[in-house]
Structure formats: C-alpha cells, structure tokens
Structure 1
Amino acid sequence: MKIHINQLEEGCILAKDILSASNKVLAYKKTIVTEHIKHALKAFLVNEVHVENLLEDGRGFLPSGIQKEASNEEKEKVELTPVKTFHQLYNHAVMERKQLFTGWQSGTQIEIAKVRQIILPLISELKHQEGEILKLYQYCKKEDYLSHHSVSVALLSAFLAKRLGYDQGEINQIAITGLLCDCGMARISPVILTKKVTLTEREYLDLKQHPVHSYNLLKSIMSLKEGVKMGVLQHHERMDGSGYPLGVKGDQAHPYSKIVALADTYQAMVSERPYRSKQSPFKVLEQIMQHDFGRFELNAVNELKKAVIKFSAGTKVKLSNGLKAEIVFVDEQFPTRPIVKIEKTGDITSLKDKKELYIQEIF
C-alpha cells in the first residue's frame, strides 16, 4: 500500500526498498519505521512510500515477537542530512555542471548519465518551487555565467514544457536539451568566453559556431534522443528565419528548440554577464513581446507571460528611479507594467501610465 510520507508512523513496515534520486538505498524492504527513519526520509525529499500491515485507521502494527525499535544496523542504512533549500540544490547543480564543462574542454566525452543526475532531481524539486523560476537570475554569478546559464535554461525550459502540455518524459528531454545547448562552448577559445568587453566581429562569428560544436559533440551518443540533438543544434534559430546556424524558420525547427530558444534568450537577458548588467524579468519580457515579436514561438511566450503574472502579485521590486515598491495588481494586457505601491510614500502608481519608469529588479 502506498501512502504519503506524512501518514507514515512508527511501527509501519516498508514493503519496498526506498531509493534516493541517485539510486542509493535509503531504507530496505521490511525495515520497521522509527522516528529516526521517518525524519531521514523527509530529509531526502521522499514523498511517498510503500508499507505493509496497515490497520484500517492507517496505524501500523507489528507481528508478535518483532521489536518496534530498529536495530543499529538498520539505523545506519539511513544517513541524516539537512533538507537543502532550492537555492542550495541549484548551486550544487551549477558546480556539478561546471566540473563537467571543464572536462569537456580537456576532451572528456559527454556522459549523459551524469547530465541526467545533475538536472533531473532539480526538475523534480521545481514542481514544488515554481515561484523560484523568476528568481533564477538572482543566483547567477558572472564569473560562472556559463554554468549558471545552462542550469537556468534547463529549468525554465522544463517549466515552459510543462505549461505547454508535454508529458514528464519529454519535459526531462527538453530540460536535458537546455542543459546541453551550450556544451559546444567547450570548443570555443576561453579568451572569448571570459572576455569582459564587446567581442570583435571575428570573435562573434567564432562564438556563433557553438551550436554546431554542441551538435558534433552529441551526434554519436546513441543513448541521446534525436530531438535533443536537433534542439541543441537549433536553439539559436528563430521563427522568422533570422537565427543561426542554418536560418531555418517556423515548423522547420524542432519543437524542443523553440522552447529552449526562448528560455536561452530570456535567461541571457536577465542574468549578469561579464560584459553586461542584469535586467529585470519585466523589462526583458517587454522586449521579447514587443521588439522581438514574431521571432519566438507564440505559445511559449504566452506561457512565460502567464508565469510573470502568476508569480508577481506581492513581489517587492526596485524601479528605474531607485524607489522600492510592491506589485499590487498585474493587468493581463500589460503584464510588464503592473500597478505598484511605492514603499516610501504609499502612493499607488500604474507603470502603464508612466512610460519613463520600468521595473529594474525584483527581490
């Protein structure tokens, strides 16, 4: 019988082994649950368990002769670690991706199993932390921009894919596409990658080859789906044909690439980079909806807009004039120009009527 972890009580007997996200055994079948074990399972973010010998009221019982207290050996099977925040899990994924990228630069082949281990547990946690999706740019550090960018693109791509109705299997594949879309940067000169001023024309042309390099690194990996490879190759293509490296447009681009293209552009614009300051999600969304209209898949843009609306009410922001404010209402027709309450004066201001003002930062 499967129950939620909150229903689990001392004395329940586990009917199946419980594994962590990395397939490490946390507790074995037939283990008698103690308070120690229950806390440990919660620490590892286990949500449901299979138990046996339950009474109708949900309380566990033990056959006669079995001691309720678990043995020391059973206790040692569960290692207690503190519950990590989403930010901590995210930073761990970034550092893991950075380590992989260093290996790719030195010629190490890409191991898809390791890529999955980095991003899939974080995708699972995102289900319970969707409000974090607009805060990812705040975690970014410009000295580790590439690693932050890859993880953020993977997370936003997964979020958009879910909103667009993809099943979990494809959501995972789209997230992997996002994480790998810049793996070809490992074939670009580190001088270009770390440059703190605008690139020369020649350097920019070299940089624009990274989707091709990424595809070449992945094309022979049999365990990787073709959709992921095409998504990686085409993530800089645009719906109107203005992208690169092939200049394909509309339905010529793989559906995965259309999602990752938006996530990649959005995260690049909101994040702090070696040669450019970060911008607020509101300002970036406004640019995507107006100046870049027709370049991105409209359904994906609409889902991003809905996310901004959903997670905005009550958000503390800093305006372009330096004043701090709180968002009190978001009009669906003007999602990037909400009504805000100025913190210092309590005045209510509609940014729709104040074209010179925009949201510079969210807290």
Structure 2
Amino acid sequence: MIVSANQLVAGCIVTADVIGKSGMPLVKSKTVLTDTEIFYLQKMLVKEVTVAGHLEDGSSFVPEKDSVSVRPAIIQVHFLDAYAAAAEGYQKQFNAWQHGSTVDIAVLRKHILPVLEKVSEWEGNVFNLPAYRRQIDYLPEHAAGTAALVAAVLQKAGFSEADIKQIGLAAYLADCGMAKLKQPYHIQKRRLHDSEWEDVQKHPTFSYRMVEQAPLLSSKAKLAILQHHERADGAGYPLRLPKEKIHSFASLLSICDTYHALISERAYRAAVSPYEAVDIILEEQFRRFDPAMIQHFIQAFVDAQQNTKVRLSSGDIAEVVFTDTNHPTRPMVREQESGQVKALTEIPHIRIEQIIYEAR
C-alpha cells in the first residue's frame, strides 16, 4: 500500500525503494523502518512511501488518518538515540566495506543527518559525548562523535545548513578507508609499530577514493576527507601539504577528530578530560590547524560549558560562570560549597579535572 510519510510507524516494511530528488534511494526496499528512519524521511520531505500491509511483528498495519503536521512521537526522537543509531549504522557499513562493498552515501546520510540536525537542540554537552554513552567499538563512536562536533561548531559559527550537512557527512566518512588497510588497526590494543603506522597513513587516500565518484558529496567535503590529517607545518599526511593548500574545512575536521580521539578511552591509553584536550589542541594550534577554525571551535566549546558543573583539582565542585575565549580552559567558577567565585586564571595550581556528567 502507498501511505504518507506522516502515517508511517516503527515496524513498517518498505516494499519499494524510496527515491530522493537526486535519483538515489533514500531507503531501500525490504527496510524495516525505525523512528529515526521515519524522522529522516519526513525531514527529506518525502510525500509517499510504499509499504507492506503488515508490520515486522506480523500484525496488520492500519495507517491512521493523514495529518499535515509531523507526528509528535517522531519529533521527539532523542539526540542520543539518533547518535547511537548513527554509530551502529556506521559499524554495519564498515563491516560491508571490509568485504568489498562500495560506499552508499544515501544510507549514510540516513544514519547521520538526524545527529547533525538535532545536536543544536540537545541540552547535553556535545564536547563530553563519551560520558553519555558507553563506548563499545572506538571507530563507529569516533565517526559519529566527530560528525556531531563538526556540526555543533559550524552551527555556532553561522555556516549554512548545506555546509553543516556536507562537512558533517565528511567527518562521518573520513575514516572509511580504514576498512581497506592490510590489518584492522583500529581494534589493536597496543600502540602501532612504525611499519603499521605507515600503513595507517594511507587511509585518507583510501577514504577519498571510496567517495570520489559519489554525486551526493560536495567537492569540498571530499577534499576535507582527503586532507583531514594534513598539518599547517607541512608534516601531515598523506600529501604533506603546506598550510595554504589545506582547505579550512579539512582543518576543522582535524581539530574535531583530534579532540574526540583525546577524550575517548582507548585500549592502550586513558581518555583525557575535555579541558585537558583543549589545552593539548591549543599547544599544537600553530603547527597543525587553521587559526579561524580554532577560534570557531573554541567559541563553541566555551559556550557549551556555560553553567556546567566541574570538578576542580582541589577536589571542589564548581559551576562555570564566565569564560574568556583567550583563556578557554581557565574560566571563572563558583564553588558549590562556599559560593565563592574564583578566576582560575589567577590560581595556576588549580585546574578543571572533570566535567560532571548530567543526564539529558
């Protein structure tokens, strides 16, 4: 039967490919729809979908009367649910790439677009994502997390919706070339040997080749994928480009990639705190990153920490009340117990050790 996208419910079985304006399938036949996929179809302004007369559980599907408005249950898809679906979807695609499958941009857009669109609405702290979700496998979490960070920074900086979606998708795809390496280095529980590291440095080239002919990905998104490990000092890879040859979006992707990697637990090292990760990035900024993109990243980070509870190295719990972007890791804080406001710029021996997780 043919129904409106607004009539779909979780468990509906698609019986004909849903084709987007580009002529590429948004959802393929035989897909069992989830709330996230329905939300995606509605956001893509799909009018009609052909589905089976029964749901996945075997019960009959009787569509409700169509409504112009989007169903409230679909609007309420939570950011963290969309994020989890994006990580899980990436893992499935990565497994397929390892066995020779090509990159299906339409499927990947379906997984990551809800994350890119909902990150600005979420009341949680996108710069502390590992605190909200237990990491199962690093690479899919890293792909979804880096994409969310890129979107948050670009939204805060006022970039266009098209750029946010394209560069967010580029961040999601940047490491797809890891599937083509000699060994599954991403699951190693030790630091890599020199020969292994040389092989890993090929992954941006493989990633670029995997998406080079994809019509749904812009040229600047493809360039960001190829260049996301290049450095301003020319010591990056795979091409060792000078800073004037590196696209600014590639540099932003590199910043977010580095940050998310630092705050993530790895088998061979512990995660660092968000504030320590920012300190590390600032120490490297002139050697590695585009100054304008560093400023955009820092502004987004600072804004996200306003009124956040933190644990200080003194053991005190405090709330961030003001941050000067020139000193993003040394804000003014109000101690919870004493009520005193302290400027960490004036107390060099005290630092922020942890952002305190608050469920959202």
TM-score band (shorter)? 0.7 to 0.9
Instruction: Provide the residue aligned with 1:103 in structure 2.
Output: 96
Q: CA deviation at 1:175?
A: 0.9
> Among 206, 209, 213, which residue is 1:220 paired with?
213
Q: CA deviation at 1:148?
A: 0.8
After superposition, the CA RMSD in angstroms is 3.2
Q: Is the 8 A contact 1:317 1:362 kept in 2?
A: yes
> Among 108, 120, 126, which residue is 2:119 paired with?
126
TM-score of the two chains, using structure 1 as the length reference: 0.74
3-state SS in 1 of match to 2:222 = helix
TM-score of the two chains, using structure 2 as the length reference: 0.75
Summarize the alignment of residues 46-125 of structure 1 with structure 2, pairs less than 5 Å apart: 75=64, 81=73, 83-125=76-118
Q: CA 1:304–1:173 in 2, change beyond 3 Å: closer, same or farther?
A: same
- Larger mean CA deviation between 107-116 and 335-344 belongs to 335-344
Summarize the alignment of residues 236-255 of structure 1 with structure 2, pairs less than 5 Å apart: 236-255=229-248
> Among 269, 273, 286, which residue is 1:293 paired with?
286
Q: CA deviation at 1:158?
A: 2.0
Q: Is the 8 A contact 1:164 1:300 kept in 2?
A: no
Q: Does residue 281 in structure 1 map to residue 270 in structure 2?
A: no
- Larger mean CA deviation between 220-229 and 165-174 belongs to 220-229
Q: CA deviation at 1:347?
A: 4.6
Matched residues in 2 for 1:197 and 1:74: separation? 53
Q: Does residue 308 in structure 1 map to residue 301 in structure 2?
A: yes
Matched residues in 1 for 2:66 and 2:98: separation? 38
> Among 343, 350, 355, which residue is 1:357 paired with?
350
Q: Does residue 233 in structure 1 map to residue 226 in structure 2?
A: yes
Identify unmatched segments of 5+ residues in structure 2. Answer: 13-34, 46-60
3-state SS in 2 of match to 1:292 = helix
Instruction: Provide the residue aligned with 2:199 in structure 1.
Output: 206
Matched residues in 2 for 1:256 and 1:290: separation? 20
3-state SS in 2 of match to 1:205 = helix
Q: Which amino acid is 1:362 matched to?
A: I
Q: Is the 8 A contact 2:7 2:63 kept in 1?
A: no
Q: Which amino acid is 1:183 matched to?
A: C
Instruction: Provide the residue aligned with 1:327 in structure 2.
Output: 320
Identify unmatched segments of 5+ residues in structure 1. Answer: 1-15, 25-39, 50-71
Q: Does residue 161 in structure 1 map to residue 150 in structure 2?
A: no
Q: CA deviation at 1:231?
A: 1.2
Q: CA deviation at 1:44?
A: 5.4
Q: Which amino acid is 1:75 matched to?
A: E
Matched residues in 2 for 1:311 and 1:203: separation? 37
Instruction: Provide the residue aligned with 1:271 in structure 2.
Output: 264
Q: Which amino acid is 2:125 matched to?
A: E
Q: Is the 8 A contact 1:153 1:267 kept in 2?
A: yes
Q: Is the 8 A contact 2:145 2:260 kept in 1?
A: yes
Equivalent pairs counted in the alignment come to: 308
Q: Is the 8 A contact 2:232 2:242 kept in 1?
A: yes
Q: Which amino acid is 1:354 matched to?
A: I
Q: CA 1:179–1:19 in 2, change beyond 3 Å: closer, same or farther?
A: farther
Q: CA deviation at 1:97?
A: 1.0
Identity %: 31
Q: CA deviation at 1:226?
A: 2.5
Q: CA 1:158–1:252 in 2, change beyond 3 Å: closer, same or farther?
A: same
Q: CA deviation at 1:253?
A: 1.5
- Larger mean CA deviation between 223-232 and 299-308 belongs to 223-232
Q: Which amino acid is 1:118 matched to?
A: H
Instruction: Provide the residue aligned with 1:193 in structure 2.
Output: 186
Q: Is the 8 A contact 2:86 2:144 kept in 1?
A: yes
Q: CA deviation at 1:116?
A: 0.7
